[in-house]
Every structure is written in structure tokens, then in C-alpha cells.
Amino acid sequence: MSRHVFSLNAGSSSIKFALFELDGHAPLMLAVGQVEMLGEWRHITVHDANSAPILEDKWSDAAGAAFHTEALRRVLAWRLDAFPDANVVAAGHRVVHGGIHYDSPVLVTDEVLRDLEALVPLAPLHQPHNIAGILAAREAWPHVRQVACFDTAFHRAHPFVNDVFALPRSYYEEGVRRYGFHGLSYQYVTEKLRQVAPLHAAGRVIVAHLGNGASMCAIRDGQSVASSMGFTALDGLPMGTRCGQLDPGVVLYLMQEKKMSAAAITDLLYRESGLKGLSGISHDMRELEASDRLEAQQAIEYFVFRIRRELGGLAAVLQGLDAMVFCGGIGEHAWHVRERVLEGMEWIGIELDRTANRASAQVISTERSRVRVFVIPTDEEAMIARQTIAVLDRADAAAA
């Protein structure tokens, strides 16, 4: 009987999922879907491996159930209805924060769950939903093994100087350090780059994961050496609703002068800032690009400015640059943002092919460009499936 793996990526404002059949030890995608919040409506879409639609449904948040609770119920019900004979042997879950100790995917136990719950304060926008996905899958499939795949794991081999804050060292020992995030995406893109351009993948690469969550990563020979994100998923680039880099003195000011509570500051920095806060319009880059309001254009300009600044800094960390990759919703689709980011970057070795860029070709740099620039769609669900299979294989080998 064929075996199947279910990938579940429960984020702050969306849930991505996919069903894979194990062809030997390689995952073969059968269906992929997403649940999104679109205004007051919640929208679920599912496609097969050929991108043909399987399911499209929507419901209003007026129905009463919280978004993640109802969305997960519908996702799991869809799987049972559409693939009733699927032999799901494991469910793999994206978990944003693995802390100090989790540097590779693991089978979920009660002890692991307690550890993940203890990390909620470090990723309050994501970790609770990641855990909710695990619990929902556990309840739906009590005899199916659950695997946690960590966004921080890809970055755990950073050099000390890229891992530490200039605080008393005792805080570092306690775990106050730069973790970096989006690791599942970076690992997938790195492996994909190794397939399409192995010489570049073996060199100095900067990957820009640009979406509602955004970060950049410096990678040398496939290994992460620095990331724009730090202790939490707030640091670095501005994002859809998150502030990005912020002088910590601002937080002190909000506490002391504005008398804001920790809960109010958390809400401000995670949910009311970034593109949404700067523009006063939307967190969605598509809406901002379509707007003729000055505030929308200024929000985009700041987003681009911070990417360009991070690009220069990460290139310095790598002592040069051989390739750059754009991925994520904005990175893959917003050609205008890519063009503005790379405009005038000849000094770093990048010469943009505007025609290729506007077509979102795989290579958007010119033949003369010393640094080759790629657009590579990321697939966190596929990486979750691969890591889940690897964990199962190790567990089965150990039990044999």
C-alpha cells in the first residue's frame, strides 16, 4: 500500500497544506492548498499536481469559530473526503521557533510540545498556530506520527558574531541570541539552486524571502552564515504588519512616555506596523502598488530601501557575492519591487535584465552580470515533506 505524508504550514494569517505520496523515498505531490483571510471572508483553494482546481470555498468570520480552528477543521475534512484511501503515515508541521536545542526536525512527543509552548513568547504571531496545527492533526489522526520541522534550524550553525547581541554574556547562554527564521524556505531554495546552478550554489549567495513575512539570508556553500532576522521574527526588513529593525529605545519610550503595556506594544509591533502601518492602507503589496496615494508609495520605498541596505551588509559578511535569489510572494511576483531593489546595483556586480525581470524569468540578470540573479519559487510544504520522511526513516532504522 502506498504511503502518504501531509504537510501543514499554519501561519499567522494563512494556512498552507499539501498531500504527498511517497514514491520510494521521494515525496510526490498530489494536492496543495491554502486558506487565506481576505477581509471578512476566509477563502480555501486546493489544486492538484497540474495546478487544476480541486476545491474552492469561502466562509465568513461571522460564523463564530476562530480562523485557525475553523480553517484546520475544513482542511482536515477536505483531506478525508478527497483522499479517503490515503494511507497517511505522518504529518509534518512547520514550527517557526525551535530555540537553542532543536536544530533538526523531530518526532513530536508531549515533552517536545511542552518545549514548543515555552517558546511562544519568542514567536507570538506564529508559534501558537503551529502548535494548534499539531494538536488538530493529532486529534484527527491519533495513530499518525507528527513531525516538527523548524524554521530556525537552518541557521543554527551561525558564527558566534552573527549569533550574539552585545548584552551581558549570561543572556546569550540563556538563549537570547539571533535565531533567524524562514529556514525551511531557505533550505528549499538552496537545494533548488544546487540543481539549476551548482557552481553558484557552492559560492556566496544572498536569498531574499519577501512576502508578508520578509527576511534575507547570507549563504556560503549551502550553509547559512547570517540572517536579517534575530531573536524574534520582528527584526530586519519591514514586513506586511511587522516593523522590522527598530531602535530598542523606541520600545522604552512607548513604555515610559506612552504608558503602553507589553501586550499593547506586542500588538503594535507585530500587527499594526510594517507596510500596513506606514501606508495606513494595507499590508498587501498588490494593493499598495495599485494605489496612487503618497503613503502607499512611501511604504514601498522604505521596503525597497531596507532590502538594498541589507543586501550591501550581507554581501560584506560574505566578502563578495556570486548569486542572489528572490523568493516568497513578493519576491516571486512583484517585478517592480525587484527592479527597484536592483536598480543601480552594478557596483556590487548585478546588472538587471529588465525584460527578463518583468517576465519573472528564472534568471533576471544579464549575460554580462558578474552576479547572477534568480527568481526561484519556494516550496516550504515540499521541504516539510522531505524532512518528515527523513525523520521517519531514522526512527524506523533505529527501531529495526
151 is catalytic: yes
> CB 56: neighbour CB atoms within 10 A?
11
CA dihedral 6, 134, 327, 200 (to 10 degrees): -80
Measured CA to CA, the distance from residue 283 to residue 346 in angstroms comes to 31
Cβ contacts of 41 within 8 Å, gap of 6 or more: 58, 59, 60, 61
Measured CA to CA, the distance from residue 158 to residue 154 in angstroms comes to 9
Helix boundaries (H) for the chain: 67-82, 110-118, 127-140, 169-174, 183-196, 198-201, 248-256, 262-271, 274-279, 285-290, 294-318, 328-333, 335-342, 354-358, 380-399
Task: Give me the residues paired with residue 81 across strands.
Answer: none
Contact 306, 314 (CB under 8 A): no
Residue 202 CB burial class (10 angstroms; 0-12, 13-18, ≥19): middle
Which one from 151, 322, 353, 379 is the annotated catalytic residue?
151
363 phi/psi in degrees, rounded to 5 = -115, 120
- In sign, the C-alpha dihedral spanning 232, 10, 280, 272 is negative
Measured CA to CA, the distance from residue 200 to residue 197 in angstroms comes to 6
SS3 content of the chain, % helix, strand, coil (to 5): 45, 25, 35
Which residues have a catalytic role annotated? 151
